[in-house]
Amino acid sequence: MNAPVSDIVRPLADVPFYQPVAEECTLFEAAWRQQLPVLIKGPTGCGKTRFVAHMAARLSLPLFTVSCHDDLTAADLVGRHLIGAGQTVWCDGPLTRAVREGGICYLDEVVEARKDTTVVLHPLTDDRRILPIERTGEELVAPPGFMLVVSYNPGYQHVLKTLKPSTRQRFVALSFDFPAPEVELPVLMSETGIDAGRARQLVVLAGQLRRLQGYDLEESVSTRLLVYAAKLMMAGLPPGLACRTAIVEPLSDDADTVAALLAVVDTQFGQG
């Protein structure tokens, strides 16, 4: 049985800052209590990773994070035998450590991993909650405190990089998007210490640029990039230069698109 709320939830002052958008914190905690795996989908830089870190700290759970990529193998997750000091030693991977010790195993951008790698997750995402380790002959049973969380950006999906239906339907899913202006404003101020006036200009700028997504931009400005721009401003850079460095240049390599984005920046901050 899981511990009562009062025994597991830390004071918010002790956890990484996260500004809730809807009921995602309540839903995540309910999934953890019911031992359900969670899939989080949303655009780059919208707060998925920060949210998981926030919830792990809030629930007093260790967090094992894996950044998935094309070369990620099942052994990278589960573990492998290593040779050292004249002998072969088994070394647990992050997934196995999370199962042994309890905690959240977070696979970031899971669709980047090879499909044969994600199959290893299946026994952990049904009522068995087990992790078979063929190379050691073990079959680990996940403790009550273990939780599997994966995330991906639907905007990057194509025919070769999607989650198979047999995998997707093993998770409960939360959809994230860029926060509304009234939510994004306090995020910028809390993360960077920037004043309300300049934070509001950045939020308005983000709204203008996000309306261009699908026309001139494949991906639009993320909250993460707004935070970067605000930090550069706090370091003394002129707003226009901060926005070009932290927002415009990361969004596009095309000279015409960069010029068009800088024109939008100028409407908020002027030239400089």
Mean pLDDT score, 40-66: 94
| pLDDT tens-place string over residues 236-272 | 999 999 999 999 999 989 899 899 999 999 998 876 5
End-of-domain residue from the set 118, 151, 175: 175
Residue 215 has a pLDDT of 63
Is the domain of 151 the same as that of 199? Answer: no
Question: What's the distance, Cα to Cα, between the start and end of the chain in Å?
Answer: 59
Is the domain of 255 the same as that of 163? Answer: no
In one letter, which amino acid is 92?
D
Return d(Cα 24, Cα 228) in angstroms, integer: 25
**Cβ–Cβ < 8 Å for 104, 56:** yes
Buried b (16+ CB within 10 A) or exposed e, 23-49: ebeeebbebbbebebbbbbbbebbbbb
Is the domain of 171 the same as that of 193? Answer: no
Residue 162 has a pLDDT of 75
Residue 113 has a pLDDT of 87
Residue written as token pair 């994070």: 65
Return d(Cα 228, Cα 16) in angstroms, integer: 17
End-of-domain residue from the set 175, 190, 225: 175
Supply the range of the domain harboring residue 208: 181-269
Is the domain of 190 the same as that of 155? Answer: no
How many domains is the chain built from?
2
| pLDDT tens-place string over residues 196-246 | 999 999 999 999 998 886 666 777 899 999 999 999 999 999 999 999 999
Q: Assign residue 106 a region (left: φ > 0; alpha: ψ between -120 and 50; beta: otherwise).
A: beta
Q: Tally Cβ neighbours within 10 Å of residue 61.
A: 19
φ, ψ of residue 217 in degrees (nearest 5): -130, 135
Is the domain of 96 the same as that of 136? Answer: yes
Is the domain of 206 the same as that of 121? Answer: no
Q: Please tell me which of 113-117, 134-138, 152-156, 199-203 the model is most confident about, judged by mean pLDDT.
A: 199-203
pTM: 0.85
CA distances from 230 to 70, 235, 239, 245, 248 (A): 33, 9, 8, 11, 14
Is the domain of 35 the same as that of 142? Answer: yes
Question: Residue 227: enclosing H or E segment and its boundaries?
Answer: helix 223-234
Is the domain of 65 the same as that of 125? Answer: yes
SS (H, E, C) 109-135: CHHHCCHHHHHHHHHHCCCCCEEEECC
